[in-house]
Structure 1
Amino acid sequence: MGRFAIFVYAVASYAIGMASLVYMVAWLGNFWVPNAIDAPAVVNVQRAAIVNSLLFGAFAIQHSVMARPWFKSWWTRIVPKPAERATYVLMSGLALFALMLLWQPLGGIVWNVETPLLRTLLYAGYGIGWAILVSSTFCLCHFDLFGLRQAWLHFSERPHTPLSFATPGFYRFVRHPIYVGWITLAWLTPTMTISHLAFAAATSVYILLAIRWEERDLVAIHGDDYERFRLTTPMLIPRFSRAPAVHFAKSYSESP
């Protein structure tokens, strides 16, 4: 695959990845899309639960296995290294689209907030969750995280230099602000159906497992630097005693 082709591929992969997140804003918030997460049930509960479990499991396996160093080492024998991250973004976007488009609503109301002010506040919290998630990617390097920087440097015939590990922005207060955003947007909703509750619970469990795998890789890469960061910075519940941003010499991990 030539340099220009890899760059075009990375841009297309980025577009698909971003499109899946935009669709998720509507799907999880019950805006505009026909098969939103809180839509009425159309199949029996047992079948819906099996289908949804398989969909979420496939997404979780793809999202975590493809991010592990051992998989990347094997995968880059097949996929050009400058396109590896873009391929991850593409596969993640497709897996997320499949999860949303094939998801089977379960029906049933867990809670339904009818007070206009409280509904507005919950929707605002949902929006804040998305804002935390997206802005946290820019605290690191959004375009490196989503595979564009690697492809652009390759297209420009410049070597890919790993970014230094740093703790800017939200990372001063919590180790995993992207996951804080995910959990926030999964749970804050004025209408919680059984379907939505199942998704939020599965997301939370997956995140707790993913953090263990990710931090194991980060310790292997950064050693004592990351151990100190882990000891001084909370995992998911922010501590708002403002710590100075820290920059380390070693590269940060892209693993989600």
Structure 2
Amino acid sequence: MTLSEQLIYAVLWLLFGAAHSVLASETAKRLTRALFGRLERLAYNLIAVFHFVATVAAGRYLLGGAEAEPFVLPPLIQGGMGAALVAGAGLILLALRHYDLRRFAGTALVPEGAVPEPLHTDGLHRYVRHPLYSGAFLLLIGGATDPFGLATCLWASLYLVIGTWFEERRLISLYGDAYRRYRAAVPAFIPWRGRAR
């Protein structure tokens, strides 16, 4: 693994993040809505999944993939990373219970101009604003067992932090002062304040 391979992988994540943010913009949504109609959200998700898989596959190829030697870690750290994987997967599954999954995935045919989902402030959202991202961070940390996993943890975490900034701008435009108040009361990823009212 060379520095240039790391930089290429970083650029691939940067491109993924940029494309994901651009496709989430209102201008791009109007275009995909014109092309795909009510399947716009499904098309957005399929493009994102394809781009994500291509980015990770390219990183695995660049950074050695299956041939890469795993890090030699003390058993306590290995156990902690395994616990992070399990906790991350559990957190994501718990968080998904609070969404309309058909709408989230894009398989529900939502009519044009339909009311957006209400602002979620219950369940895990009482502790963190982005429980799906919190779970993703834990999965990334738990998977950092070799050079590819560590690079993926670094670049994908950076993408999540930057992507959160864009997501929050979208949520403010969607929910206004309600989201501003929620953001002031509830932390983004780590539930350091305890449960919000």
2:151 equivalent in structure 1: 198
Asked if 1:131 corresponds to 2:131, the answer is no
Query: Match for 1:217: what amino acid?
Result: R
Q: 1:170 to 1:93 in 2, by over 3 A?
A: same
**Unpaired stretches in structure 2, ≥5 consecutive residues:** none
Q: Distance in 2 between matches of 1:213 and 1:62?
A: 12
CA distance in 2, matches of 1:171, 1:222: 15
**2:103 alignment partner, one of 144, 165, 184:** 144
Aligned twin of 1:75: 32
**TM-score of the two chains, using structure 1 as the length reference:** 0.66
Cα separation, partners in 2 of 1:120 and 1:46, compared to 1, 3 Å: closer
Shift of 1:114: 4.1
Matched, 1:96 2:96: no
Contact 1:125 1:188 in 2 (8 A): yes
Shift of 1:147: 0.6
The partner residue of 2:182 within 229, 246, 252 is 229
The alpha carbon displacement at 1:108 in A equals: 7.0
Match of 1:34 in 2: none
- 1:30-75 CA-partner distances (Å, limit 9, x unpaired): xxxxxxxxxxx5xxx2452244234322322222221122321233
| Structure (1 or 2) with the larger CA radius of gyration | 1
Name the TM-score, length of structure 2 as normaliser.
0.83
What SS does the aligned partner of 2:102 have?
Answer: helix
CA distance in 2, matches of 1:205, 1:102: 18
Query: CA RMSD, aligned part only?
Result: 2.6
* Structure 1 contact 62–91 (Cα < 8 Å) conserved: no
Matched with 2:161 is 208
Q: In proportion to residue count, which structure has more helix? A: 2
- Cα deviation for residue 101 of structure 1 reads 2.2
Q: 1:113 aligns with which of 73, 79, 95?
A: 73
CA distance in 1, matches of 2:74, 2:158: 29
Aligned with 2:160: secondary structure? Answer: helix
Name the counterpart of 2:128.
174
**Greater strand percent: which structure?**
1
> Any gaps of 5 or more consecutive residues in structure 1?
1-40, 245-256
Give me the whole-angstrom Cα distance separating, in 1, the residues matched to 2:23 and 2:165: 16
1:235–1:220: structure 2 CA closer, same or farther, 3 Å change rule? same
User: How far, CA to CA, are the matches of 1:63 and 1:134 in structure 2?
Assistant: 22
Q: State the SS of the aligned residue for 1:55.
A: helix
> 2: CA distance between counterparts of 1:208 and 1:135?
21
Q: Secondary structure at the match of 1:163?
A: coil
Over the matched positions of the two proteins, sequence identity in percent amounts to: 23
